[in-house]
Chain A
């Protein structure tokens, strides 16, 4: 029991060490803030331009089409932008052979997975904040339930970063990793995208507190991705 606690403590310490290093690298390079964030904002603006705001969806509450599809567009922008964040996170490890150096340091692969996923989560949270603020403005969205929205953003961000880290690990050793990773990752993200969209719709449009099913399902998905990633990342690293 003592040994398990000791190993878990060491694993968390190593995960935090890697996460802090990744955040330092991003602060120093400014790739996320200088390139990925403007890219995600641009996607959202282009969605806004492509879809007319004059069309009205008929129903109990009259909403424009743009307002109605805003949750899906928001998560699409986040998913596309997160591909860059995930790719970038593994590029800094593969460029100079650093992944092998981490293996040589004897760091638990689960700690490498968790550390990288934590850093990516933090960066995607920042994207969520900026892209979300812009979405509210250009899609004229109004938030009814902040608690559902908060849980949705948290669980969806964790899901994206965990699954992204896992698939980046799978493709890390491949010569065509830049194109292979999105090809494998996007279909995996489809269920998450669907649930996150429904969940965000519940936060924006549902007034009867019946929307908690979707965020709960999203949380289960985030938990699953985290568990699968931590258990399988070691084997993936040895194979790559």
Chain B
């Protein structure tokens, strides 16, 4: 049994592998023995009632929370090692409940800052803003003046600019209109086409079912059930930003040191 667990953890196809993972929030086990596995190119929908541990699971997989006990690997990095967790963060894009934007900066100012912070060239900002409907008068508007949906689009733009290997989205449709929700789906599908893997938590089961290849249900900080869905699945290997290959959104995948 122990050998089987070891083999499972060392499997090369597994982007994420959690075994009996326990993570604490203020000394409370928000994850209490979670088992989860994600393969390259998969899109997995996490569902469950409030307090089930969905957000904690995403934070753990993003490398923001330490693993209290159990075993866990994300993108070949160990979640119990701080150095490895820092490497995971650089390879992962987390769209959280919070906007991660500076209210006093403009939409473009925020994207410029986060691109510089993530060492991504500024040239990709404008095409992504166009695609997300953030160009025109919104470009130079302070984030504090935006609606909830426009903020969500800006936060999503930051993730898209980063082009992470692993997308972790917490309620990605929150505050978005129909068109915005369709954009989220389109970006996720594009990312998966280019080999990224996606885990998203959502209460919108109907929409999520179409996007996801698998649905995982959580309850009480652990896995309850999981089933296959009809959505996108693995299509090709991940294309790193440095490769320079053209992407479907009209930009190129080549990144580099950006000057602010």
**What 0/1 readout, one digit per residue, does chain B (91-134) give for beta carbons within 8 Å of chain A?**
01110111111111100010001101110000000000000000
A97 close to B (CB within 8 Å): yes
B242 at interface by CB-CB < 8 Å: no
Indicate which residue in B86, B100, B105, B114 contacts A97 across the interface (CB closer than 8 Å): B100
SS class, residues of chain A in contact with chain B? helix
Q: A17-B260, A25-B104, A25-B105 are in contact. Are A100 and B64 (CB under 8 A)?
A: yes
Q: A154 to B168, alpha carbons, bound, how many Å?
A: 45
Given contacts A17-B116, A104-B62, contact A92 B104 (CB under 8 A): yes
- Residues of B contacting A101 with CB < 8 Å? 100, 114, 158
Residue B89 at the chain A interface, CB threshold 8 Å:
yes
Q: Which residues of chain A have C-beta atoms less than 8 A from B89's C-beta?
A: 103-106
* B209 touches A (CB below 8 Å): no
Which residue on chain A has the smallest CB distance to residue B92? A104
- With A28-B105, A238-B82 known as contacts, the answer to whether A17 contacts B117 (CB < 8 A) is yes
Q: How many A-B contacts if CB must be within 8 Å?
A: 67
- Which bucket holds chain A's interface residue count? 20 to 34
Cα of A21 to Cα of B109 in the assembled complex, Å: 9
> Contact between B102 and A98 (Cβ–Cβ < 8 Å)?
yes
Give the distance to chain A from B125, nearest Cβ to Cβ, in Å: 15
Partner of A105 from the list B82, B101, B104, B117 (CB cut-off 8 Å) is: B117
Q: Is B260 a contact partner of A105 (Cβ separation < 8 A)?
A: no
**Contact partner, A96, options B62, B102, B116, B117, Cβ 8 Å:** B102
With both chains docked as a complex, state the minimum distance between the C-beta of B29 and any C-beta of chain A, in angstroms.
18
With a CB–CB cut-off of 8 A, which chain B residues contact A177? Answer: none
Contact across chains for A96 and B260 when beta carbons are under 8 A apart = no
Residues of A within 8 A of B (CB): 14, 17, 20-21, 24-25, 28-29, 92, 95-98, 100-107, 238
Closest 5 CB pairs of A and B: A97-B98, A101-B100, A106-B90, A28-B104, A105-B117
